[in-house]
């Protein structure tokens, strides 16, 4: 009996099928997590929503760090010149406060203080573990595969649109200024996703690289889900935390 072909001998997927495989990962995106569903249905209490904002803030602070890690390992100047915009989007510029500052304002809009957000006083161990695992993934995997993990941006615009509508409808006590981060991602996420998708389509020319890219995207979706698992347990199933 002939042995099955090794990974290196398998033919790469056609671009259309490879792209479809990437997009299919969106079925496990964290917008379907029960905690997220409850949030969009307006069923979170003020403390529960505050808990989500406080924990998600740690993720926001680590985004430019993981992108800086990717930049430090990418050998191509032209790619670095594009990717660096992601750091500026979150750290800010002279004319744009950036995503981290906007998230701090969201925290204030839901009744938290900057001091407690920056001190990470509400950060859950499970959330820290998941986020740190993502940064470490980008530090240890090949830079192209680390870039592929960012393709969750493919699914982000629809999530942001639903989130804005949910906040406006169900949480009118949240000040409008707090939604600036979500509104900004409506344009930033598609731009980032388009670039990363083209790059992965062009550079992942073997089945092995294609499989690694899909696996990286699945890993990113899983860690986002794991973050919400920790929050769901703490704020929905543990009364003292809600």
Residue 15: per-residue pLDDT: 97
pLDDT surpassing 70 at residue 142 = yes
Residue 180 included in any domain: yes
Query: 70 lies in which domain range?
Result: 7-241
Looking at residue 74, its pLDDT comes to 98
Number of domains in the chain: 1
- Other CB atoms closer than 10 Å to residue 170's CB: what's the count? 16
Taking 70 as the threshold, does the pLDDT of residue 5 lie above it? no
Compute the average pLDDT of residues 68-85.
97
CB burial class (10 A; 0-12, 13-18, 19+) of residue 214?
A: buried
Give pLDDT tens digits for 43-62: 999 999 999 999 999 999 99
User: What 3 state SS string does the chain have?
Assistant: CCCCCCHHHCCCCCHHHHHHHHHHHHHHCHHHCHHHHHHHCCCCCHHHHHHHHHHHHHHHHHHHHHHHHHHHHCCCHHHHHHHHHHHHHHHCCCCCCHHHHHHHHHHHHCCCCHHHHHHCCCCCHHHHHHHHHHHHHHHHCCHHHHHHHHHHHHCHHHHHHHHHHHHHHHCCCCCHHHHHHHHHHHHHHHHHHHHHHHHHHHHCCCHHHHHHHHHHHHHHHHHHHHHHHHHHHHHHCCHHHC
Work out the average pLDDT over 178-199: 96
Q: Tokens standing for 57?
A: 């803030």
Residue 181 belongs to a domain: yes
Considering only residues 8 and 81, tell me which one the structure prediction assigns the higher pLDDT: 81
Does residue 2 belong to any structural domain of this protein? no
Identify the pLDDT of residue 3: 47
- The CATH code of the domain that includes 172 is 1.20.910.10
Q: What is the pLDDT of residue 185?
A: 94
How many Cα atoms are found within 13 Å in the side-chain-facing hemisphere of 178?
21
228: its two tokens: 């919400």
Within-domain flag for 1: no
Question: What's the whole-number mean pLDDT along residues 135-161?
Answer: 97
Q: 126 lies in a domain? A: yes
Which of the four pLDDT bands, split at 50, 70 and 90, describes residue 9?
low
Assigned domain for 73 exists: yes
Q: What's the average model confidence in pLDDT over 213-238?
A: 96
Under the banding of pLDDT at 50, 70 and 90, the label for residue 238 is: confident
Please count the residues of the chain: 242
Handedness of CA 204, 206, 211, 216 (dihedral sign): negative
Averaged pLDDT score across all residues of the chain:
94
Inter-residue contact 152 to 224 (CB < 8 Å): yes
Share of the chain above pLDDT 70, in %: 95
Whether 75 is covered by a domain: the verdict is: yes
pLDDT at 82 over 80: yes
């Amino acid at each position: 009996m002939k042995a099955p072909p090794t990974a290196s001998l398998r033919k790469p997927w056609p671009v259309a099928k490879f792209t479809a495989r990437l997009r299919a990962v969106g079925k496990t995106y964290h917008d379907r997590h029960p905690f997220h569903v409850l949030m969009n249905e307006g069923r979170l209490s003020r403390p529960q929503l505050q808990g989500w904002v406080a924990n998600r803030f740690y993720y926001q602070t680590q985004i430019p760090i993981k992108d800086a890690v990717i930049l430090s390992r990418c050998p191509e100047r032209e790619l670095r010149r594009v990717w660096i915009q992601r750091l500026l989007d979150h750290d800010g510029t002279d004319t744009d406060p950036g995503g981290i500052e906007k998230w701090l304002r969201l925290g204030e809009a839901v009744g938290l203080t900057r001091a407690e957000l920056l001190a990470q006083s509400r950060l859950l161990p499970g959330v820290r573990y998941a986020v740190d695992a993502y940064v470490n993934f980008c530090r240890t995997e090949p830079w192209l595969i680390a870039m592929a993990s960012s393709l969750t941006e493919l699914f982000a615009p629809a999530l942001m649109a639903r989130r804005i509508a949910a906040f406006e409808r169900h949480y009118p006590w949240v000040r409008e200024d707090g939604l600036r981060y979500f509104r900004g991602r409506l344009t930033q996420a598609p731009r980032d996703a388009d670039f990363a998708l083209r790059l992965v389509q062009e550079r992942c020319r073997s089945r092995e690289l294609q499989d690694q890219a899909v696996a990286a995207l699945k890993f990113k979706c899983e860690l986002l889900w794991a973050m919400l698992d920790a929050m769901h347990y703490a704020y929905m199933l543990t009364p003292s935390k809600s």
